[in-house]
Structure 1
Amino acid sequence: MPQPEPRHAHEADLDDRPAPAPVHYAEQSLLGALLLDPHHLDDIGTLEPDHFSDHGHGELFRALRKTPAPGPHGTSPVWLNTVLDTARPHAPGLTAPYLHTLVQACPRPSHAAAYARMIRADHARRSLRSHAQHLAQTAMDTTLPHHVQATVRQADALAQFLDDLSGRFAPHPGSLPRIPPPVPARNTNEDALDEERLLIATATAHPGEASQMRWLLPEDFAHALHATLWQGLTALRQRGDPVDPITLLWEAQHRGLLPHGITPTQLLALLSTPVASPEHWGERILERALLARAQAVAARITAYCDDPANSPHQLITSSRRALADLTALRSRWHQATHPAVPRTARPARTPAPPRAGPPPRTAPLTVRTPR
């Protein structure tokens, strides 16, 4: 039985390449329409070379915009060669046969505006994914000198980009994604857990200072046990009960932390090492929560972008909702790090002295003479 001929390495590589995305064919169709009739450039709206996913397609589009359109009698080989010569220094892979491939790939040149809308939509998706990735990278980069501030600025840039996108794509019904992406778990490294333990111990030793930390919520903690202990501390303060290691131990028992979460001996040992102030550790925990929330928001937006079924307006709506979760935490972080200055009573203003002027006019007295 004859054996099949061995496949060459380059043939296997060509077969293993992923199939082009739908936008690839939209780009080919648009360029084919413009090569057939460059006057369609006036019909496609705002479109830039960097909107194309393929570098060669973008450079060919740039060349089409630079090259003066031919007369009303259609294109000519000379004009096509001029377009190709203009684009080739920036995209050497372009060839004359490929221009003919583009022309044949266009089913309806009159649909050029629709092809351009597809290219803009895919570019919006790629750009949004890039912004989300920058947000995630900034939130994870511990080498930045002002880590949280840099993350906040990147989130603002993402929000501004979404505002710009909303003006380019019209809204439509059904603007929520089909399936929400999973929320990534918090990274519970030992440094984060130590800071949370120190907060619980210090807040127990100084409950008066901890009562001012309304900006810290249980959801900001990386460990569920520490979040429940913080809830117990908050409940004791709100009820006006005494706060000390024994009362917190009793509260922990009623919240079901004993013995599954922590033993009484372990809890009392945890509460025996207060260090610094509750505000210091609370701010550290809130900063970690903000960075973790930024990474989670970036992961959600990236997952939305990776689903090709989502339209641009769906991406805008879902991304704004994801950013709203980060905005709420940012407000509490700003409240913690920039406390409001208490207002002082202003001294009573003394009335201004009267200005010099003519004496007031008075009516003359009427003197009656007796009859």
Structure 2
Amino acid sequence: MPRTPDPDADGLDTVPPPHPVFHIEQALLGALLLEPRHLDDVTGVAPASFSAAVHAALFAAIRSLPAPDPVEHATTTKWLDQVLAAARDQARGLSALYLQTLIQVCPSARHAPAYARIVEAEHSRRRLAAAAQRLMRTARDTSLPQRVAAILAEAEDLTAVVDDIAARFPPHPGSLPRTPAPSPSPSPVTRHDEEELDEERLLLATSTAHASKVNQMRWLTPGDFTLSLHAGLWQCLTALTRRGTPVDPMTVLWEARHRGLLNTGAKPKELLELLSGTAGSPEHWGERVLQRSVLMTAHHTGQRIEAYTDDPATTPYQLVTGSRRALADLSAVRARWQHATSPTPTNNPTRTRATAAPRAGPPRTTAPPTARNSR
């Protein structure tokens, strides 16, 4: 039995339509092909600003050729032929028909600067999205030897992109994005969940045994912990040490009772066992917990910024404001990380200025006067 051809079998209906900026790029190129003199009015865009490779090749060709004489350009296609020949070096499938299409779809050549501004804005959105994705990808990469250093380097690059967009589109009051911030995803930015929990347990146990170290670890906050129970126990430890109360598993248990931690299902015996198994130093395990917090914060920062860029209703001004707020959280945990890992400064004794020896006076010929006896 012969097979009936399916009109949708070629898959053309599944090809997504071009983004709106694609049509804006066509209008901009059509304006420049129609009236090349408007190229002087177009600023802030480069070949890389275009979303389509053929458009990037055409813009590069237009920019590389001297503008034609307006009278000659109105009567001949000489300059258009030169543009086509130059652009074909990068886009071999480009045809003269497509150039004519670009000219026809352009509503007004005088609006070229407005079209260019839109193209620049969408390019900024793509740049910001790519930087946020690199940040998240680095946060998930467990093969990196220095994960935090790599994360902070990507954060610097992302901040530079935001600053560049802010210079192009300065934010103004009230330019907060309306896109809901996504909740942190359970993306695996660390190795094993059980290993993370063990590190937190060891931190709590060693901090209970060496409570004097807790006050020196103010760079660690309850929000750095994976479990709310562990975060609550850390609050118990910091509260006890701040009040000068003796710290041991029993006093921590009693503080946990007052804070309602036993109402969450935690059993007293289990808490006592958790607080008794020590190994290593509190600083070591604290840095491990904080490192994971840096990775998780970086990943969530990338998620927030990506959500802003994915929302077509978000303006460039809102992208800048929202991205800076997201980066502020990463900057805060970065400052705590640098505080935790910086070497403790040594207090060198202050060098005092040497007292000059008194000058030698003339030799005495009489005995020095004696001090008066106080009455």
2:339 pairs with one of 319, 335, 340 = 335
Distance across 2 between alignment mates of 1:302 and 1:353: 71
Deviations 1:233-289 (A, max 9, x none): 111111111111111111122222225331112112212210000000000000000
1:319 maps to which residue?
323
Distance across 2 between alignment mates of 1:99 and 1:278: 69
1:172 maps to which residue?
172
Report the count of equivalent residues. 351
1:255 maps to which residue?
259
1:57 pairs with one of 26, 34, 55 = 55
1:200 partner letter: L
Distance across 2 between alignment mates of 1:173 and 1:53: 30
SS at match of 2:216: coil
2:31 pairs with one of 12, 21, 33 = 33
Q: TM-score, normalised by structure 1?
A: 0.90
- Cα separation, partners in 2 of 1:83 and 1:243, compared to 1, 3 Å: same
1:265 maps to which residue?
269
Alignment of 1:212-361 (within 5 A): 212-352=216-356
Q: Is 1:210 equivalent to 2:208 in the alignment?
A: no
1:365 maps to which residue?
none
Distance across 1 between alignment mates of 2:158 and 2:322: 13
1:78 CA displacement: 2.6
1:41 CA displacement: 0.6
Distance across 1 between alignment mates of 2:142 and 2:324: 26
1:68 CA displacement: 2.5
Distance across 2 between alignment mates of 1:57 and 1:193: 52
Alignment of 1:33-182 (within 5 A): 33-73=31-71, 74-75=73-74, 76-182=76-182
2:48 partner letter: D
Distance across 2 between alignment mates of 1:26 and 1:144: 41
1:58 partner letter: A
1:348 CA displacement: 2.2
1:323 CA displacement: 0.5
1:5 CA displacement: 7.5
Distance across 1 between alignment mates of 2:310 and 2:264: 40
Q: TM-score, normalised by structure 2?
A: 0.89
1:344 CA displacement: 3.1
SS at match of 1:190: helix
1:14 maps to which residue?
12
Distance across 2 between alignment mates of 1:337 and 1:267: 29
Distance across 2 between alignment mates of 1:338 and 1:161: 28
Aligned residues of 2:179 and 2:307 also touching (Cα < 8 A): no
Distance across 2 between alignment mates of 1:107 and 1:195: 64
2:364 maps to which residue?
none
Distance across 2 between alignment mates of 1:170 and 1:212: 41
2:226 partner letter: A
Aligned residues of 2:179 and 2:314 also touching (Cα < 8 A): no
1:101 CA displacement: 1.0
Gaps of 5+ in 1: 357-371
1:116 partner letter: A
Distance across 2 between alignment mates of 1:63 and 1:261: 70
SS at match of 1:258: helix
* RMSD, aligned α-carbons: 2.0
- Cα separation, partners in 2 of 1:205 and 1:170, compared to 1, 3 Å: closer
Distance across 1 between alignment mates of 2:96 and 2:12: 22
Aligned residues of 1:225 and 1:261 also touching (Cα < 8 A): no
SS at match of 1:282: helix
Aligned residues of 1:196 and 1:285 also touching (Cα < 8 A): yes
Distance across 1 between alignment mates of 2:154 and 2:353: 46
1:352 CA displacement: 4.8
1:44 CA displacement: 0.8
